[in-house]
Amino acid sequence: MNESKPTPTLRWTGDSIEIIDQTRLPAELAFISVRDVATAVDAIGRLAIRGAPALGAFGALAVVVGFDEAGANSLPEARAVLERLRTQVGNARPTAVNLRWAVDRTIDAALAEPGVANVAQMRRRLLDEALAVGAEDALACAEIGRLGRVLLADATVIATHCNAGRLATAGMGTALAVVYAKAAAGEPVRVLAAETRPLLQGARLTAWELADAGIDVSVVADGAMASLIARGEVDAVIVGADRIAANGDTANKVGTYAHALAAADAGIGFYVAAPTTTIDAAVPSGECIVIEQRDPDEVHRAGSSRLTPAGADAVNPAFDVTPARLIAAIITDAGVLQPPYNHSIARALAAAGGPG
């Protein structure tokens, strides 16, 4: 494993947010400097920054950027700015609960009693809270890695979908934290990264960050994973999550459900790795999770080439829901949760004092 320190996915520079532009990977490692809310919302919408925990850490800092940009002169004006940002940033994408949660947490900290005396104090509260969101996520990732390594001690070939690595979090990832922890402990590990059509987060991002870390990774066409699993070529499947309902049903990148079905049929473990901040206890089950529908053009095209004939339509749900019954365990920073998830999730949230 390559031990050199990876480039952070997002970073507060003192007056702006610097993010890796994930639309440009793996061709080039380029950065975007985010100094206004329009750039932040655009970066979220285009998936220049993406992955539920990274969206939370970024959204919290985007509130600070938006607050600075607005230049409120009084506390009533500042409160009105925050309510506008709550909607503008918090609604930039619908499925990853971390975004809404982190934006609300940051704004609510600034509005909490005892109240602040002036706009400068309010800004200090916002920044402290926003930085805490990212710092806590990094710790959660490390704990997920530690627990996942113990749970998956016997797994060498790990399949994953989308990117749930350092590019998707403020730390070492969720699903990929387990891989990094195994590699750091000197255990053999090989990753099969499903390519993740249409935007290829697996082929572009997971393969890039694992190769960068010196970890053995092979990209697999989405449709090929089931037969590899059936042939016994995969020891376990681990994915991240965008929103986990109170009963354990899990929304993640579209295509995840198919891997879970294949894992169940082959009798291998299908695991979700996510911080407790991705659990939404207010949502009872998967059918209540809002699934983002994206531009059909993402399906029609690969890069600048059109793949589909004119006259053919396309549908582009960005996520699907894997039912709790297909999930062997949910690896969180508050422990490894086992079915029945209604109970284990409620206990974990109470212990974490967390959202929902």
Q: Is 92 in the site for ligand MRU (CB under 6 A)?
A: no
**Interactions with ligand MRU, residue window 157-216 (CB under 6 A):** 162, 164, 168-169, 174, 201
Ranges within 296-335 binding ligand MRU (CB under 6 A)? 318
Q: Is 242 a catalytic residue?
A: yes
Q: Which of 287, 198, 226 is nearest to 251 (CA)?
A: 287
**Interatomic CA distance for residues 281 and 32, integer angstroms:** 34
Q: How many residues bind ligand MRU (CB under 6 A)?
A: 18
* 94 binding ligand MRU? (CB under 6 A): no
* Binding pattern for the stretch 262-301 against ligand MRU, x by CB under 6 A and - elsewhere: ----------------------------------------
Q: Which stretch binds ligand MRU (CB under 6 A): 28-36, 115-123, 240-248, 281-289?
A: 240-248
Amino acid occupying residue 190: R
Nearest-approach distance from CB 259 to ligand MRU, in angstroms = 12
Residues in contact with ligand MRU, shown as a per-residue x/- string from 124 to 163 under the rule CB under 6 A: --------------------------------------x-
φ, ψ at 345 (rounded to 5°): -70, -45
31-48 in b/e burial notation, b at 16+ Cβ within 10 A?
ebebeebebbbebbeebb
- The nearer residue to ligand MRU, 54 or 264, going by C-beta atoms, is 54
Among 242, 249, 280, 320, binds ligand MRU (CB under 6 A): 242
- For residue 215 the two structure tokens come to 């970890």
Closest-by-Cβ residue to ligand MRU is 240
| One-letter identity of residue 276 | T
SS3 219: strand
Of 23, 27, 30, 35, the closest CA to residue 7 belongs to 30
* Using rule CB under 6 A, residue 82 touches ligand MRU: no
Segment contacting ligand MRU by CB under 6 A, of 30-38, 234-242, 328-336, 345-353: 234-242
217 binds ligand MRU (CB under 6 A): no
Rounded CA separation 102/354 (Å): 12
- For ligand MRU, which is the closer residue by CB, 47 or 264? 47
Piece in contact with ligand MRU (CB under 6 A), picked from 2-10, 25-33, 45-53, 110-118: 45-53
Per-residue burial over 162-197, b = 16 or more CB atoms within 10 Å of its CB, e = otherwise: bbbbbbbbbbbbbbbbbbbbbbeeeeebbbbbbbbb
Catalytic residue among 222, 242, 249, 280: 242
How far apart, in whole angstroms, are the C-alpha atoms of residue 264 and residue 269?
Answer: 7
Bridge partners of 32, per DSSP, are 19
> Which active-site residues does the annotation give?
242
Catalog residues that contact ligand MRU under the rule CB under 6 A. Answer: 47, 50-53, 96, 162, 164, 168-169, 174, 201, 240-242, 252-253, 318
